[in-house]
């Protein structure tokens, strides 16, 4: 009888411990992610655009957009050159976790009008050129929080929509953008790359799709 009681009490203790571990894990992983966008220093900005160039060049080759590295390199350079044409209109940020103050990634956005061959209907659009989360901080909600904060900033500055481009092979990114309310622009979509757009205000300039972050 005593042995049975000991076994019973031991099982109860293990069950309680497992329950507490599970609850603690849920609390830690479900904490609200809050980020801050810090203007990048000159050195950070240089590093960010080098990272953008390397990342974009790789994506162009993986997607099949270009077959040779020289063409992909030229196209990536055209992207970084956008910053040089209208530097005051581009916003380049370091993404900071507000809880730990750790640098978790980078973000770059600018007026859609900075892109070549834009029609008048896009003049009040903002464009998310690059968002990158450092590997050890991925899948923790930082990208979502950073994009939402960027949408708020661009909305406050008078932009009515946010656009971005995503490669078709990048299914996790597409799923994230769709969850945030971005929709495919069929006019600028092919088998390799697709543009997605999210309205930030409606026709009466009321906020659309506001979310907490």
- Condensed to tens digits (0 to 9), the pLDDT of residues 60-80 reads 999 999 989 999 999 988 888
Residue 21 DSSP label: H
Residue 205 inside a domain? The answer is no
Tens digits of residue pLDDT in 19-34: 555 544 444 444 589 9
CATH number at residue 57: 3.40.630.30
Q: Which residues sit opposite 184 in a β-bridge? A: 196
Q: How many domains does the chain have?
A: 1
Question: Whose CA is closest to 61, among 71, 53, 51?
Answer: 71
Tens digits of residue pLDDT in 115-135: 877 766 677 899 999 999 999
Residue 26 inside a domain? The answer is no
Q: Residue 174 is encoded by which pair of tokens? A: 């597409």
Residue 189 inside a domain? The answer is yes
Look at residue 166 and tell me whether its pLDDT is greater than 50.
yes
Residue 135 DSSP label: G
Residue 18 inside a domain? The answer is no
Q: How many CB atoms lie under 10 A from the CB of residue 76?
A: 21
Distance CA 87, CA 95 (A): 20
Residue 133 inside a domain? The answer is yes
Residue 9 inside a domain? The answer is no
Residue 213 inside a domain? The answer is no
Output the average pLDDT for the chain.
85
Look at residue 210 and tell me whether its pLDDT is greater than 90.
no
Q: Which residues sit opposite 39 in a β-bridge? A: 93
Look at residue 38 and tell me whether its pLDDT is greater than 60.
yes
Domain residues for 173? 34-199
């Amino acid at each position: 009888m005593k042995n049975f009681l000991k076994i019973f009490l031991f099982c109860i203790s293990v069950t309680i411990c497992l329950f507490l571990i599970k609850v603690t894990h849920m609390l830690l992983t479900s904490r609200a992610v809050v980020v801050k966008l810090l203007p990048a220093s000159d050195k950070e900005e240089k590093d960010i655009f080098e990272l953008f160039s390397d990342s974009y060049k790789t994506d162009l080759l993986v997607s099949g957009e270009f077959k040779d590295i020289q063409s992909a390199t030229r196209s990536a350079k055209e992207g970084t050159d956008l910053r040089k044409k209208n530097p005051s209109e581009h916003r380049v940020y370091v993404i900071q976790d507000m809880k730990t103050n750790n640098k978790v990634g980078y973000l770059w956005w600018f007026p859609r009008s900075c892109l070549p061959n834009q029609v008048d209907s896009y003049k009040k659009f903002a464009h998310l050129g690059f968002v990158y989360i450092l590997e050890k901080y991925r899948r923790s909600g930082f990208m979502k929080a950073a994009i939402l904060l960027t949408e708020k900033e661009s909305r406050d500055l008078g932009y009515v929509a946010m656009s971005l481009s995503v490669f078709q092979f990048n299914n996790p990114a597409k799923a994230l953008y769709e969850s945030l309310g971005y929709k495919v622009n069929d006019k600028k979509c092919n088998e390799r790359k697709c543009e997605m757009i999210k309205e930030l205000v409606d026709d009466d300039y009321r906020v659309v799709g506001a979310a907490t972050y």
